[in-house]
Structure 1
C-alpha cells in the first residue's frame, strides 16, 4: 500500500528562540518545538519530568465532594464498591482504587460488569448486586458519564455514586454525589487527557493529600497507571507523560506482583517500554474480559503473593491464546467477505456483519481490517438480538462524529475520534450501512484514505550517531502526540550489502556519496528490494534504534518506507 509522506512544519521563530537557550542538534530542537516547547524551562520539564509537575487533584470539579463522601462512608463504616469497565483501563483503575482502600483497611469490594450479559458501563444488575450485598457507595471508574438513568435508579435504591470517567459527557450530567471528568465543560482542571485509571489515581491522591498520608501511599500504583495510559491510547503529554515516566520506572524496578508475573511469564527481560505494554501486557489483561471474566484481570493485578500472581497470570495467558486463535480466524473470514464483494473497492468504508463472530474480539478484527483496507471500519456481530460492534478510524477522520450522524438508526453508541462502540436493531442494519457510507463519503478528505507517514526532520547519514541517539532517547516515553520521531534521508544508494532476509523482510545497508554507511531493517518490506537495487538513488524514512551485539552498540534504521 502506498503511503503519503508528510514533513511536519516547525515554527521558525520558536526554533530560533529555543536555539539560543539549548545547544543541541537542530533536528532535536525541531522535535521540541513540534511538541510545543520553546523555552529552556519547558525543555527541562520535558526531559526531566517530576511528580511535583502533577496538578493539584482538588482542581478537578467535584473532587472535594468525592472526598467528603468517602470520608463520611469511612466514619459510618459503610461498604464501598469499586466498579469499573472490563478493559485494561477499567481493570487497572479498579486495582488502583481498591488496593489503596484495602491498604487502609476499609470495607471495600469490587465489581466488573460482564461484557456479554451486562455490556459496557454501569448496569442495573450491578446496582442490584450492590444493594443485595450491603453497599451504599459505589465509585465508578472509566464509565458512568452518560449513565443518567442508571444513576437515577441507584438514587432510588439509596446508593450513592462517585463517577470517575474520562469520556466525553452528553448534554446532561448524571445526578451523582460527585462526577469527576476533566472533559466536563464546567471543569477547569488544566489537563483533559487523563485515562480512566488516571482519574482514579487523582482520586486516591486527593484522599492521601487531605489526610496527610505519605506520597508513596498512592504513587506505588503508578505501574497500573502507565499500563492504562499505554493500552487506552491516550496522549502521552502533560500529566500523562509524568505518570508514564514514573510508571515505567516502577514497572522496571519494582512492579506489582501481578504485573511481574505476567512480564516474566512472557519472557520480557529487557527494559519495558510503552510499546511492550501495548503489545505484551495490555492484550493479556484485555483477554480476560474478552474471552471470559474480567475479574480474572483484577485478581491478577491485586495479587500480593508470587504464588497467586503466577496462577492468575497463567489464566490470562490461556485466555490470550484463545483470543489470538479466535480473532485470527474471524479476520480471515472477514477478508474473504471483502474479496467476494465486487463493490467494496469503490466504497469509502468497510462495514461487515456476521451473527456468529465472537463479540469479545471484533474490536481487534476492526483494527486489522482498517490497517489492511485503510477505510473507516465497523465490524458487527449479533448480541442479545441486536447488531453490536466496534468502529476504528483512519488517521485524521472523526469516526465518532460520523456515527453520531447516523444516531437515529442506533440504540446505543459511544467513543471518540478514532474508536467507538455501537449497537442497533437488526432491522436497521442495512439502512445503517448505507447511511454510514453516505456520511463518510461526503465528509472524508481523499488524502485520509492513504496511510500517512509523518516525518519530523531530515538528516544526513553522518548525523545519525550514538550521541544524537542518547539525547533522542530522552524524548521517551513515546506514544500518541509524542510519537517516536521518523526521519528522512534523501538520495541514498545501496552499498551492495542490502538483501532480503527470511521471506518478507529487507536488510538495508546504504550510503550517501562518500559518507559512512548506515544499516537498517525494513520489516515486511521485501517487495521494495527493487527500489534499493535500482541504479539510481532513493529516499528512505525511518526511526532510529540501538542494536547491541556481543557488547557492541550500533545505531540502525527501522525503515518505515522508501521510494
Structure 2
C-alpha cells in the first residue's frame, strides 16, 4: 500500500477549534481535515438536525412533479412506482409506494427482471403499465437516460416523473418532471443524493403541501440510510443528516421487513458498515438470484410473520449468491492468471456461463486483488453484459464514454458502471478500453492508497478519544473513519496468525514502554515476519473496540504495517 499522510491543517484553524470546542488538538485537526473550521459547522457535524435538510422545492422540476401526482390522485388515476432491482432502486420503490398507499389506493410497484429486461426503464414495464390502465409512472434510481423508452410511453398516453441521481446525457427524457440534482440546470445545493434520497425529497415535497412536517417522515429514513450506505455516496451534507436519523430508526424502531432481517442476524446495534455488509447484500440478493420484487415485498410488509417468511427466502437467495460469487471469482482469477501476457492497466474477463446477478460483486473482488480498472462480462440474451469497477482516483465512466463506439449501452458512476455490447464488439472494445486506461491513468493509482489523518503515539489512545471518534459516525465517502499512524512499535512476543489458514494477524503492541494495546490485522497474516523477535515496525490503523467475555477493550484495527 501507498501510505499518504494528509497535510496538517493551518495551526490557527486548529487553535481556533481547540478554544471554541474545548477539545484536544488531535480532534480539532480531524475536524479541520473534514472542512469544519467553526463552532457552528462542528455543531452541525456532531448534532445533525432535520432542520438542516434543504427545501425540496429548490430541486428543478419538483413543483411539476408534485402537481402531476396531486392531479393523478384527484383524477383517481392508476400510478406505477418503478425502480431498479438493486438496493437503491428497491428501497426507493418501497419508500414512494408505501408513502402514497397511506392515503391513496391506486398504486402498484414494478421492478424490472435483471435477466429478461435489464437495467433501467424497460419497454416491457411500459407495456405492463398500458395493460393495467396506468397513466403515470414514477421512475426511481433510473430513467434519466431512458429517452426512447419514455418517448414510447408518451406515445401511449403514459406520463413519467423521473427521480434519478445518475449523470444525465446531453438530452433529457420527455418526462413531466426530471428530478436529478446532477442536471446542469438544477441549482439544488446538494448534488450527492442517492436515488432513494431523491425519492425522499419528492415525498418531503408532497408532504409539505399537506402541511406535514419532515419530523413525521422519519420512519422512512431507515430505507434512505440503507440506500446511502449501499450506493456508496458521500456521507456528508444532507446525506449525513439522512443517514444519521435513518440509523436511529434501524436501531430503535425499524420497519417490519428490516426487523425480520435483523432478527435473523442477531446483532444488537447496527452501524452504517453493518447496513452495507449485512442488510444491503440480502436486499440485493433477491434481484441477483430471483427477482427484485421480493425485496420490495419484504420492505413494504406490515405483518411480522409474513415478513419473517420473506426474510427466510431472501436468506436462501443470499446463501446461493455467496457460493456463486465465490465460484465465479475463482474462475475469473484463474482466467487473469492464464492471460498474463495480456496484462496491462486493466482486467477484462468473460465467460458466457457466469451468473449475471453476481458479476458486479466479482468485479469488486478482482479490483481488490489486482487493483486495476476491471470489467467482468457474461452472456445476456443475444448480447454481452458487463459490470465495471474502478480504482480510487480513476473515472471509469469517462473511460467507457471514450470507448462508446464499441458499446451498445452504458451507465453508472465514476467508480462503478454497467454496459452491454454485441459479441462482435467485444475484442475491439477490450483493446480500446486497455488503450484508453493506459493513456490516461496515473500509474501510482494502480497501488492501493491508505490516507492517514494523523501520526499519533499510543499514549494518546484512551476511552475519551474513542468516545469522541464514535460521534464522527456515520462514516463513509466524504467522512471516512479516522486513520492513524504510529512509528517504532513492538509486539510483546505473542503475535500470531489467526483464522482459517492463519490469514489474519493478531498482536499486542507497545511503544517506548507505553501499552500494551491489542491489535488485529485482517488479511495481514503474511506480514507476521515483520513483527517477530520484537522487531520495530510502523503501523497504520483505525481505533476499534473489542468485546470479549463482557469486557470491552480498545484495540488497533491494522490496515498495514511496515
Q: Is the 8 A contact 1:197 1:225 kept in 2?
A: yes
- Give the deviation of 1:26 after TM superposition: 1.7
- Give the deviation of 1:528 after TM superposition: 1.1
Q: Show the 5 A alignment for 1:148-187.
A: 148-187=147-186
Q: Secondary structure at the match of 2:275?
A: helix
Q: Is the 8 A contact 1:27 1:458 kept in 2?
A: no
Structure 2 counterpart of 1:543:
542
Structure 2 counterpart of 1:68:
67
| Cα distance in 1 for residues equivalent to 2:26 and 2:310 | 46
Q: Is the 8 A contact 1:100 1:217 kept in 2?
A: no
Q: Is the 8 A contact 1:79 1:137 kept in 2?
A: yes
Q: Does 1:218 align with 2:217?
A: yes
- Give the deviation of 1:106 after TM superposition: 3.4
Structure 2 counterpart of 1:320:
318
- State the aligned residue count: 559
- Aligned match for 1:479, one of 476, 481, 486: 476
Structure 1 counterpart of 2:457:
460
| Structure 2: stretches of 5+ with no match in the other structure | none
| Cα distance in 1 for residues equivalent to 2:52 and 2:340 | 55
Q: Does 1:237 align with 2:236?
A: yes
- Give the deviation of 1:217 after TM superposition: 4.1
| Cα distance in 1 for residues equivalent to 2:90 and 2:505 | 40
CA RMSD of aligned residues (A): 1.2
Structure 1 counterpart of 2:346:
349
Structure 2 counterpart of 1:197:
196
Q: Is the 8 A contact 1:509 1:520 kept in 2?
A: yes
Higher mean C-alpha displacement, 512-521 vs 370-379: 512-521
Q: Is the 8 A contact 1:226 1:248 kept in 2?
A: yes
Instruction: Give TM-score, length-normalised by structure 1.
Output: 0.97
- Aligned match for 2:487, one of 490, 507, 516: 490
- Give the deviation of 1:420 after TM superposition: 0.6
| Cα distance in 2 for residues equivalent to 1:383 and 1:243 | 37
Q: Is the 8 A contact 2:190 2:237 kept in 1?
A: yes
Structure 1 counterpart of 2:275:
277
- Give the deviation of 1:14 after TM superposition: 2.9
- Give the deviation of 1:514 after TM superposition: 2.2
Q: Secondary structure at the match of 2:201?
A: helix
Structure 2 counterpart of 1:358:
355
- Aligned match for 2:367, one of 366, 370, 383: 370
- Aligned match for 2:386, one of 385, 389, 399: 389
Q: Secondary structure at the match of 1:21?
A: helix
Q: Is the 8 A contact 1:182 1:188 kept in 2?
A: yes
**Deviations 1:302-361, CA, capped at 9 Å, x for gaps:** 0000011101101111111111111111111111112212314x4110000111111111
Q: Show the 5 A alignment for 1:423-434.
A: 423-434=420-431
Structure 1 counterpart of 2:86:
87
Q: Is the 8 A contact 1:80 1:135 kept in 2?
A: yes
Structure 2 counterpart of 1:123:
122
Q: Secondary structure at the match of 2:531?
A: helix
Q: Secondary structure at the match of 1:430?
A: helix
- Give the deviation of 1:489 after TM superposition: 0.6
Q: Is the 8 A contact 2:81 2:138 kept in 1?
A: yes
**Deviations 1:193-219, CA, capped at 9 Å, x for gaps:** 011000111111111111112545422
Higher mean C-alpha displacement, 13-22 vs 424-433: 13-22
Q: Is the 8 A contact 2:50 2:214 kept in 1?
A: no
- Give the deviation of 1:18 after TM superposition: 2.4
Q: Does 1:331 align with 2:319?
A: no
Q: Is the 8 A contact 1:100 1:218 kept in 2?
A: no
| Cα distance in 2 for residues equivalent to 1:119 and 1:549 | 46
Q: Is the 8 A contact 2:397 2:413 kept in 1?
A: yes
Q: Does 1:14 align with 2:13?
A: yes
| Structure 1: stretches of 5+ with no match in the other structure | none
Q: Show the 5 A alignment for 1:238-317.
A: 238-268=237-267, 270-317=268-315
Structure 1 counterpart of 2:227:
228
| Cα distance in 1 for residues equivalent to 2:410 and 2:178 | 21
Higher mean C-alpha displacement, 13-22 vs 144-153: 13-22
| Cα distance in 2 for residues equivalent to 1:161 and 1:49 | 34
Q: Secondary structure at the match of 1:170?
A: coil
Structure 2 counterpart of 1:501:
498
| Cα distance in 1 for residues equivalent to 2:82 and 2:533 | 60
Higher mean C-alpha displacement, 373-382 vs 532-541: 532-541
Q: Is the 8 A contact 1:148 1:175 kept in 2?
A: yes
